[in-house]
Amino acid sequence: MRWGSGAGSGDVEDRRGIGGGGMKIGCGGLLVLGVLSLLFRQDLITPFIGGGGLSTAPGGDDPARKAVEEPLERTSRNSFGDLQDYWAQNVSGYRKSTLVLFWDMVRSGCGAAESQTGPFYCPADEKVYIDLGFYKDLKNRFGAPGDFAQAYVIAHEVGHHVQKLTGTEAKVRAAQQRAPQLANQLSVRMELQADCYAGVWGHSANQRGILEPGEVEEGLTAAAAIGDDRIQKMSGRAARVESFTHGSSAQRVAWFKRGFTTGKPEACDTFDTR
Ligand SMILES: [Zn+2]
């Protein structure tokens, strides 16, 4: 991808190296935990300061790991910034989201999460969470390298932010409560719409000359790679349609394409299944 000189996003919270995602405890707290540990003869401190233990640098910072992630961080910041500019122009009353970078574990407005969960959007605090290590997985396990594939992942999560702002997320949640038997089907529709929104942004990025030849295919590979059927097969299980929450690879590719070719958010009517 080719970014202009003004690219990049300041709306990033870098929580890498902060064990447990910003769960900082002061000296007083440590002292109390120390005393309690002695009383109960077990280590109560380590779980509070992350897996690193006391021997690591304050906050568990790891400059080497950050250096390896530098190109991934750049692509993430650039695409996140561009996505927000795009949606601010296309959704009235747009509120900015924040991209939270973390390692291993994070505390979000939606509870604690581990990297294994993959990147996610939390509607409660309107933030996007990603452990950049996910991109290594995307490349090694799912065969989807390239920076547009990475941007697609961010674009999908920002798509969920758009659903929060437009009220779609609240409507879906209410419908799921009314009809629990449809809950999964409704989440699939919501996921496919986020894919379509990612495509809509891709259309704009392409028109503005940000995409390089061959990068659209990259996005499609990423969409196909993270379909639920692929993920389930990769983890050694046979794909079962009723447990899908993101949609099949074919569905995801189809909706991404729909967004990409039309460039219109209105075309992402994934809930209309006629
Ligand atoms: Zn999603």
- Is residue 243 scored above 90 in pLDDT? no
Instruction: State percent of the chain over pLDDT 70.
Output: 74
pLDDT value at position 273?
67
CA of 187 to the centre of ligand 1 (A): 9
Positive or negative, the CA dihedral 185, 186, 188, 189 is positive
- What does R_g of the chain's alpha carbons equal in angstroms? 20
pLDDT value at position 21?
42
Q: How much is the average pLDDT of 246-255?
A: 85
| 45-59 per-position pLDDT tens digit | 555 554 443 333 345
- Is residue 146 scored above 70 in pLDDT? yes
CA of 141 to the centre of ligand 1 (A): 19
pLDDT value at position 136?
83
List of residues 6+ apart from 95 with CB closer than 8 A? 126, 165
Q: How much is the average pLDDT of 77-97?
A: 96
- Could you give the 3-state DSSP secondary structure of residue 154? helix
Q: pLDDT class for 17, splitting at 50, 70, 90?
A: confident
Q: Are 98 and 9 in contact (CB under 8 A)?
A: no
Q: What's the mean per-residue pLDDT of the chain?
A: 82
pLDDT value at position 50?
47
- What order of strands is seen across the sheet that includes strand 127-130? 12-14, 98-101, 127-130, 120-122
Domain boundaries, the chain: 12-16+62-267, 27-59
pLDDT value at position 9?
74
pLDDT value at position 24?
44
CA 157 centroid distance within chain: 5
CA of 18 to the centre of ligand 1 (A): 25
pLDDT value at position 231?
56
- Token pair of 106, please? 């994070």
Q: pLDDT class for 11, splitting at 50, 70, 90?
A: very high
* Cβ < 5 A residues, ion ligand 1: 191, 194
pLDDT value at position 206?
93
| 147-168 per-position pLDDT tens digit | 888 898 899 999 999 999 999 9
pLDDT value at position 57?
39
- Is residue 234 scored above 60 in pLDDT? no
CA of 64 to the centre of ligand 1 (A): 30
CA of 259 to the centre of ligand 1 (A): 16
- Provide the whole-model pTM: 0.80
CA of 194 to the centre of ligand 1 (A): 6
CA of 154 to the centre of ligand 1 (A): 10
Write out the H or E segment, with its range, that includes residue 108.
strand 105-108
Query: Which residues partner with 122 through β-bridges?
Result: 127
- Is residue 43 scored above 70 in pLDDT? no
Q: How far apart are CA 112 and CA 262, in angstroms?
A: 37
Instruction: State percent of the chain over pLDDT 90.
Output: 51
Q: pLDDT class for 23, splitting at 50, 70, 90?
A: very low
- Is residue 20 scored above 60 in pLDDT? no
> How far, CA to CA in Å, does 270 sit from each of 133, 188, 202?
30, 9, 18
Q: pLDDT class for 236, splitting at 50, 70, 90?
A: low
CA of 13 to the centre of ligand 1 (A): 20
pLDDT value at position 32?
63
